[in-house]
Amino acid sequence: MTRRARRSALGVVLAGALLISGSPASALAQPGGSEQAEWRVRQEIVDHALREVGAREANGNYYPQQYQSVDQGILRPAEWCGVFVNWAWTTGGVPERPSMRPAPGGSVLDQGHWATYWQKWGKANGRWKDIAERDVEPGDAVVYGNYPDMHAHVGLVVEVKYDRTGRKATHVRTVEGNFDDRVVYSKLRPIEGLNAGKYLQATGFVSPF
């Protein structure tokens, strides 16, 4: 079975199985070697994100402190959609992630609190997948807006539905932090026109690998 066929089998069942069982789902066909390790990390990302659905911030962007505890560079209080993605990737075992602090002398925009920096980082590190490609897997970050937009958002993909070929995504389900001041779980939404509000169109996805 090809990688794309394997990911299709996993993508349509992963989030639903996690919600039912409360534990990581198993792929219908297990990949081998490094691919298997990557799928385990993706499953961990999804599992951790789903467990946080409903978590809320206190007044003034005081989001749950555990999202800060994984990285000394994280600010609190702060706008925290990127903080939540960073937390899920970190606790899931992603080895390389956007820095949550700008480099010395660098732009304040170039760090993971800035939602569209995830797009810039993804492009610079070969992890970016434009929305038009319809190439997305569970555990990917979804970016709404373009760098360096201020009006932007970032979330996590937890379920993907593919077409019959298993090559192109048709729908995704997401978990997103700092949406109406809490962590929310979306319905299964079409890739075409995917948005986080009228003026927040999804531009693409960032892969953890």
pLDDT digits (tens, 9 = 90+) for 127-138: 999 999 999 999
Least confident among 34-38, 115-119, 142-146, 204-208: 34-38
Amino acid sitting at position 118: W
Contact in structure between 171 and 189 (CB atoms under 8 Å): yes
Task: Say how far apart CA 111 and CA 119 lie, in whole Å.
Answer: 11
pLDDT one-digit tens code per residue, 93-119: 999 999 999 999 999 999 999 999 999
Q: Over the chain, what is the mean pLDDT?
A: 89
Contact in structure between 160 and 139 (CB atoms under 8 Å): no
Query: Which sequence spans correspond to the domains of the chain?
Result: 3-206
Instruction: Using the predicted structure, report yes or no on whether residue 17 has a pLDDT greater than 50.
Output: no
Nearest C-alpha neighbor of 158 from the set 196, 118, 189: 189
